[in-house]
Amino acid sequence: MMEAIPPKAPNLRRLLGPLVTHGVNFVLIGGMAGIARGSSLPSYDLDVAYSRDKANVKRLVSALEEIGVRLRGAPADLPFQLDERTIENGANFTFITPFGDFDVLADVAGIRSYDQLAAGSEEKEIWGLPVQVASLDHLIAMKRAANRPKDRNMVEEYIVLADEIRRREKADSES
């Protein structure tokens, strides 16, 4: 049976906006981060990694409350209490929201720590929002760790993309 897909791509402004306004310490990862870096491969959800420190978890909960999340794939009658304790007792959450599929991750395969991920990321202004975007090297490491067929395709494209960006940077520095 074919895997189901969401009925629509996410509304990124409505998902990233609350994270920024609530001051959540997060890094954009996954296919959308790849697209922000220049990938042409499609992505159907928004993935972010978040810092696990207590103050940040509190800010994350506020942002998730504003967005209006519920667990994706869970029975509608399964109780889900969105609070700091729930986030601290879990790590990675896959949500459905009024604005599309939204995954928030504390443990990211292929990356040693959030601090390592954040250190390699760059702040980009996206629609006026300051967003930390994961580096292509880290995106490649994450996709290699996930290692599904679509991830392997992305690795190939990200390698070519990273080569092209380095080639352009070198040409710029020499001119």
Partner 1 sequence: MGDDLVLGLKPRDAGIDRTQIDERLKLNEGERLDYGVAFADQMIAISPRPKREGWTP
Write down the least CB distance from residue 65 to partner 1, Å. 17
What's phi and psi for 131, nearest 5 deg? -130, 130
When the beta carbons of 8 and 85 are compared against partner 1, the nearer one is 8
List beta partners, residue 124. Answer: 131
List beta partners, residue 105. Answer: 49
Write down the least CB distance from residue 27 to partner 1, Å. 14
Task: Tell whether residue 53 is a contact of partner 1 (CB under 8 A).
Answer: no
Task: Tell whether residue 172 is a contact of partner 1 (CB under 8 A).
Answer: no
Task: Tell whether residue 10 is a contact of partner 1 (CB under 8 A).
Answer: yes
When the beta carbons of 26 and 99 are compared against partner 1, the nearer one is 99
When the beta carbons of 25 and 39 are compared against partner 1, the nearer one is 39
Contact 70, 95 (CB under 8 A): yes
Distances (CA, A) of 111 to 49, 101, 117, 138: 11, 22, 7, 7
* Tally of residues, the chain: 175
When the beta carbons of 30 and 50 are compared against partner 1, the nearer one is 30
Distances (CA, A) of 53 to 17, 25, 57, 94: 21, 9, 6, 20
Task: Tell whether residue 150 is a contact of partner 1 (CB under 8 A).
Answer: no
Task: Tell whether residue 77 is a contact of partner 1 (CB under 8 A).
Answer: no
Contact 29, 48 (CB under 8 A): yes
When the beta carbons of 115 and 164 are compared against partner 1, the nearer one is 164
Binding residues for partner 1, rule: CB under 8 A, are 2-12, 32, 35-40, 42-44, 96-100, 124-127, 131, 133, 156-157, 159-161, 163-165, 168
